[in-house]
Every structure is written in structure tokens, then in C-alpha cells.
Amino acid sequence: MSDVLTIEELAALMKKGAGLTVDPADLAGRSETRFDEFGLDSLGLLGIVGELENRHGRPLPPDADRCKTPREFLDLVNANLMSGA
């Protein structure tokens, strides 16, 4: 696992954390589509945030669980991981 969250990893986290099977190619092609259109609610996103915080041993920004789209989430998380903040 790298320090960058990929679309493929996000799709796997959506399955693990919320039981949603989303094709990574579909997620990539629709990265500006709201999470709720994929069936992911705020509680599911909160679970993904928790999993990533455990995995990386540090908190994500407080607004990570309020991201509305996969692109917004990936941009925020990856900026945080790359900065080491």
C-alpha cells in the first residue's frame, strides 16, 4: 500500500466498510458523482475515514467525512497523506 489512496482502494473500502460493490472503473469514470448515488451514506463514509486513520496511524482532516464525491474525498485524503499532517 502506498501513501496515496487510489480509486481501486476506495472501491475496496466501500465494499469492506459499507458492503457496496462498486466497479473501480465506474467509480473512476463517475468520480464527480455524489457518494449517495453509489449508495454510500455519511455513516459508511465515516467508517472509511476510520479505517484509513487506523491504517495510517493518524487522523484525517475533520471534514473528510463530509466529502460529497469520490474525487473530493480522494483529493482531500491524498493531500493530507502527502503532507504528513
Question: Would the pLDDT of 1 be above 50?
Answer: no
Buried b (16+ CB within 10 A) or exposed e, 24-34: eeebbebbeee
> What's the pLDDT at 33?
97
Each residue of 15-74: pLDDT tens digit? 998 889 999 999 999 999 999 999 999 999 999 999 999 998 989 998 899 999 999 999
Contact status, residue 77 vs residue 64, Cβ threshold 8 Å:
yes
Q: Which CATH superfamily is domain 7-83 in?
A: ACP-like (1.10.1200.10)
Question: Would the pLDDT of 85 be above 70?
Answer: no
Question: Would the pLDDT of 5 be above 50?
Answer: yes
Predicted TM-score (pTM) of the model is: 0.91
